[in-house]
């Protein structure tokens, strides 16, 4: 393992519990266009692959179905306006960011740019990150490695020097494909056993364990 020189975080489910705000905005969008509501748990199960896939799954339509477009736009407008009504940082998130502040930190999320910026500003997170890459900033989203490769380029570091920290399969798969070290953190969205099956470099039960892990890896690495 190369010596970790930067840490990249996912947002939803990793740093942020955004379940209720996402679900309520999605249901308001569905109702506005005459479609039935989904349960919060159903919508939460659609989170992680970007807003368009969330909406198409909630509608049970193909991603390319043109009917998705109008509902998607309503969802994006509504969610951007109500992104931090109930959303809160997950336990240990602020402390982990503060503890790792001596390293370059980045954010790599599939969340749309406008909503990402609203959340970062409202929760005083933007100051922690040298690079923020949101959904739509690259043509592909996680689990494609392209977003992480773009983060590495903007940081001026090889991908192998990055630790990708996330709560979902998208994060582990993208990190591995990009050549990063991968850390899966159990959050409110994905069960622990699902993450374990992906064999990340480390599997943590909370962000409070992350700073010590990164420091240990940095001390043990030979290059």
Task: Tell me the CATH number at 48.
Answer: 1.10.150
pLDDT tens, N- to C-terminus, the chain (223 residues): 889 999 999 999 999 999 999 999 999 999 999 999 999 999 999 988 889 999 999 999 998 888 899 999 999 999 999 999 999 999 999 999 999 999 999 999 999 999 999 999 999 999 999 999 999 999 999 999 999 999 999 999 999 999 999 999 999 999 999 999 999 999 999 999 999 999 999 999 999 999 999 999 999 986 5
Distance from chain centroid for Cα 223: 28
- Gap between the Cα atoms of 128 and 69, Å rounded: 34
Q: Do both 115 and 205 map to the same domain?
A: yes
Instruction: Please give the share of the chain, as a percent, with pLDDT higher than 90.
Output: 93
Range of the domain at 28: 19-81
What is the tally of structural domains in the chain?
2
pLDDT at 64: 86
Residue 174 lies in a domain: yes
pTM of the predicted protein model: 0.94
- pLDDT tens string 34-80: 999 999 999 999 988 889 999 999 999 998 888 899 999 999 999 99
Q: Do both 99 and 73 map to the same domain?
A: no
Q: Do both 169 and 59 map to the same domain?
A: no
> Is residue 10 among the annotated active site residues?
yes
- Gap between the Cα atoms of 41 and 65, Å rounded: 24
Catalytic residue among 10, 17, 78, 167: 10
- Is residue 141 packed enough to be buried (19+ CB in 10 Å), middle (13-18) or exposed (0-12)? buried
């Amino acid at each position: 393992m190369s010596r970790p020189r930067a840490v990249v975080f996912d947002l939803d489910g990793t740093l942020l519990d955004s379940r209720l705000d996402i679900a309520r905005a999605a249901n308001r969008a569905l109702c506005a266009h005459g479609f039935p509501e989904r349960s919060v748990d159903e919508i939460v199960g659609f989170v992680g692959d970007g807003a368009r896939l969330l909406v198409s799954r909630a509608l049970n339509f193909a991603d390319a179905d043109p009917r998705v477009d109008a509902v998607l736009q309503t969802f994006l407008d509504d969610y951007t306006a109500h992104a931090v009504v109930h959303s809160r940082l997950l336990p240990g998130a602020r402390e982990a960011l503060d503890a790792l502040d001596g390293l370059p930190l980045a954010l790599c999320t599939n969340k749309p740019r406008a909503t990402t910026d609203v959340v970062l500003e409202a929760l005083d997170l933007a100051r922690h990150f040298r690079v923020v890459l949101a959904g739509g900033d690259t043509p592909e989203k996680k689990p494609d490695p392209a977003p992480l490769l773009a983060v590495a380029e903007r940081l001026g570091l090889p991908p192998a020097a990055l630790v990708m920290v996330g709560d979902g399969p998208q994060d582990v798969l993208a990190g591995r494909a990009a050549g990063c070290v991968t850390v899966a953190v159990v959050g409110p969205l994905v069960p622990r056993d699902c993450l374990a099956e992906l064999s990340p470099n480390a599997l943590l039960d909370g962000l409070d364990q992350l700073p010590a892990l990164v420091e240990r890896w940095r001390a043990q690495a030979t290059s």
